[in-house]
Amino acid sequence: MSSRRKFIEKALGGAIGLTVAPSLLRAESEKNAEAPVVISTWNNINANRAAWAALTAGKSALDAVETGVMTVEADPEDMSVGYGGRPDRDGRVTLDASIMNAAGDCGSVCFLQDIKHPISVARKVMEETPHVMLAGAGARQFALENGFQEENLLTPEAEQAWKDWQKEAKYKPIINIENHDTIGMLAMDKQGDISGACTTSGLAFKMHGRVGDSPIIGAGLFVDNEIGGAVATGMGEAIVKVCGSFLVVELMRQGRTAEEACRAAVERVVKKQKNYEEFQVCFLALRKDGSYGGYALHKGFTYAVSNEPDPKITKSSSYLSR
């Protein structure tokens, strides 16, 4: 961030209760209109490449985030998202996803089974129904009626992981291990518009029917095109309790940088959840001026950034150092 913009934001903050004028962020984004950006949680380089290619081809930020996360949904080697995701304790793969565009429109699905690309179903919900969220059998029926194919999403590897888990059947999330990871992605296109997407197979070996933060607008994902967007990953229950992604965007509205807003959201989780040392929570944010940042409860959180053809992996700071 330039020293001039820091000065302006401080001045505005003192004058209007720490709220940065959306028009200022819009002006900054217009200067970045020829420089699109994609950010996503964890080491999702291939997802970033797909989204970046869409942006540089002139596609919208909405198209880019859908295209990007679909690469992970279709990857059987990623055992926390889509096809190949670890099942619940009953051996069933259930998926959650949400998507949100620059106009504030949003769609989501939760507890969806047998459909490889829940993010695309979520977009259909957004664009072709009067609703925001469809769940379970209803979401599956809607997907099949709209041309999606029924598929078995349980791979032999994921099934074996489930069988191994059954030997002790202990439910304990492991920090930064793929039993709770998500891909959350934010993109800004050449027009300066921001969209976001979030998709996951949820906590490994969860109770059948459990839904986390990923499909909940304001928890796992939130976009306000005047200010920016945020996504979350980690223990969904803790993120839902603080409306995490909405909180991050509102803190950016008050003038905080992306990283500062993410840190404050993590600190809110720490304040509200007594057992915070036992799980991971991470936030990632993109501001309207093109700046971005992330922050985590525990060390180990990384995110992928594309503002040029080759993505780079960035390590976030964390509240706890161990």
Residue pair 126/99 in contact (Cβ under 8 Å)? The answer is: yes
Q: Is 233 a catalytic residue?
A: no
Contacting residues for 306 by C-beta, under 8 A, at least 6 apart:
37, 38, 39, 48, 49, 51, 52, 312
DSSP string, 174-212: -TTSTTS--EEEEEE-TTS-EEEEEEE--STTPPTT---
Helix axes 61-73, 118-128, angle to 10 degrees: 150
Residues 157, 159, 164, 168: what is their CA dihedral angle, to the nearest 10 degrees?
150
State the catalytic residue, choosing from 155, 182, 200, 233.
Answer: 182
User: Residue 74 and residue 68: Cα distance in Å, rounded?
Assistant: 11
Spatial separation of the C-alpha atoms in residues 197 and 216, rounded to whole Å? 11
DSSP class of residue 217 equals B
CA dihedral 119, 160, 238, 278 (to 10 degrees): -150
Provide the annotated active-site residues: 182
